[in-house]
Amino acid sequence: MWLTQPLLRLKLRRRGAQEPGYLLAMDEHFGHYASVAPPFDGNTIWVHAVSLGETRAAAVLVAGLRARIPGMRLLLTHGTATGRAEGTQLLLAGDLQAWQPWDTPGAVQRFLAHFQPRIGILMETEIWPNLVAGCAQRGVPLVLANARLSEQSRRKTLKLAWLARPAYRALSAVWAQTQDDCARLASLGAPVQGVFGNLKFDATPDAEQLALGQAWRQRFARPVVMLASSREGEEAALLQVLASFGPLALVNTAHTATISVVHEVQWLIVPRHPQRFESVAALIEQQGFALLRRSSWPDGPLPRLAPADAPSTRPTVWLGDSLGEMALYYGLADVALLGGSFEPLGGQNLIEAAACGCPVVMGPHTFNFADAAEQALAAGAAQRVADMTQGVQAAAKLAVDAIALAGAQHAADAFARSQCGASERLTQAVVQLLADHPISKKSLHVNSHGQPPT
């Protein structure tokens, strides 16, 4: 880890060429915090949310902790530029934000000495051996919250069992999302103390964004299907399928016509990573489609002026080239194809789609969110298909069937509501751990019941 530090700097500069956020405060990665004033009140709660999804989940937990720990100072750390940008929205006066320290003993010790956290809360998956060891040496309780571990990740971790098992065993507590996650984490020696569900079910979609997307949808006559949080290779697969269909088999519409899926449905692509917006835009045009970018329609997408089936009119594909607007896109879409599931990448989170009432069609690869995917299937909030061709057919068929679509939308909303509650359970567990820890109990002034003294 020490020897690879120059390579890390090179990687950050290269990524910074596409995402300038990576060029911000680069020395923080190595434990140097000249621009961040150290806290001196002994009341710092450190939450590490590596990327965008973990940061959004952390927002729910942070809100619960602020309500239970008066005077709490938040230290928020990240590993990606999108996570750090999202995290700025969680900061209040006096809070701190920094990059995760690179996992060398020196960087970790400088990080802990500078910020002096009373507790460290790692979100979901982030386990670094030197970081865990450094916290244990300094007596800082370190926990893994909203923890998940796929079987594929467990197998990879076991290849370094001599390094991983001591790190997992040294954690103060682990709170898993599901029973399967619990079993896999326990097999690595993790001290799992509860199965609390997934925090992301407690996250409330941005109501203003959702309402705006739904309003735009009402202005547009055709159904909208979105490829949500797409990964490399999936956009090309979708466009190739759409280009190959031509007149498609019988899709029942209001006009009972046999027409092309490309012309019957409006297709929207929202890439997972912003650095790929330009390459996906170029790909759409290379495949012969007209391009309409979110950045070019601040007041909403405009319908075609020419008839949808006019031979001279190229089908238009919308591109969601903006950050932080997934609720808007889910409000605009009738159905979502789940990104990351049509390539062997494990799938993206489908919970936000369900919370927005948007049913999902997912490919075969959902191992990163296996339990949520199976639960969504059982609830009728999702469908599974074998490949992108079947995905296009299933999504289009659902989008143009008003009765089936209404049922799937209701099922998605009910599924999301039925899974809530992890936030309260996690908040109570963190507060109780602070109360039970001698140093934290003194500095945070909580009693044995996890409540501030009267």
Instruction: Give the pLDDT of residue 438.
Output: 56
Please state, in angstroms and as integers, the Cα–Cα distance from residue 18 to each residue in 204, 271, 279, following that order. 30, 15, 12
Question: Is residue 53 predicted with pLDDT exceeding 90?
Answer: no
Question: Is residue 388 predicted with pLDDT exceeding 80?
Answer: yes
Instruction: Give the pLDDT of residue 38.
Output: 78
Instruction: Give the pLDDT of residue 300.
Output: 84
Instruction: Give the pLDDT of residue 362.
Output: 97
Question: Is residue 253 predicted with pLDDT exceeding 90?
Answer: no
Question: Is residue 247 predicted with pLDDT exceeding 90?
Answer: no
Torsion angle defined by CA atoms of residues 216, 219, 223 and 229, in that order, rounded to the nearest 10 degrees: -10
Instruction: Give the pLDDT of residue 244.
Output: 85
Tens-digit pLDDT profile for residues 60-94: 999 999 999 988 999 999 999 999 999 999 999 99
Tens-digit pLDDT profile for residues 365-375: 999 888 889 99
Tens-digit pLDDT profile for residues 190-242: 999 999 999 999 988 999 999 999 999 999 889 999 999 999 999 999 999 99
Instruction: Annotate 394-423 with DSSP letters as a single string.
Output: HHHHHHH-HHHHHHHHHHHHHHHHHT--HH
Tens-digit pLDDT profile for residues 274-307: 889 999 999 999 999 999 999 998 888 865 444 4
Percent of the chain with pLDDT over 70: 90
Radius of gyration of the chain (CA): 23
Question: Is residue 133 predicted with pLDDT exceeding 80?
Answer: yes
Instruction: Give the pLDDT of residue 100.
Output: 95
pLDDT band at 313 (very low <50, low <70, confident <90, very high): low
Average pLDDT estimate for 384-390: 96
Instruction: Give the pLDDT of residue 208.
Output: 96
User: Between vectors from CA 28 to CA 23 and to CA 29, what angle results, nearest 5°?
Assistant: 80
CB–CB of 209/325 below 8 Å?
yes
Active site residues per annotation = 54
Place of tokens 């369900």: 354
Sign of the CA dihedral 150, 152, 157, 158?
Answer: positive
Residue 115: Cβ-neighbour burial (10 angstroms; 0-12, 13-18, 19+): buried
Instruction: Give the pLDDT of residue 35.
Output: 77
Tens-digit pLDDT profile for residues 25-46: 999 999 999 877 777 677 899 9
Instruction: Give the pLDDT of residue 228.
Output: 97
Residue 308: phi and psi, rounded to 5, are -60, -30
Taking residue 147's Cβ as centre, other Cβ atoms within 10 Å add up to 28
pLDDT band at 335 (very low <50, low <70, confident <90, very high): very high
pTM comes to 0.81
Instruction: Give the pLDDT of residue 303.
Output: 52
Instruction: Give the pLDDT of residue 442.
Output: 37
Tens-digit pLDDT profile for residues 93-108: 999 999 999 999 999 9
Tens-digit pLDDT profile for residues 6-32: 999 999 999 998 889 999 999 999 999
If you ran DSSP here, which 8-state letter would residue 447 be given? -
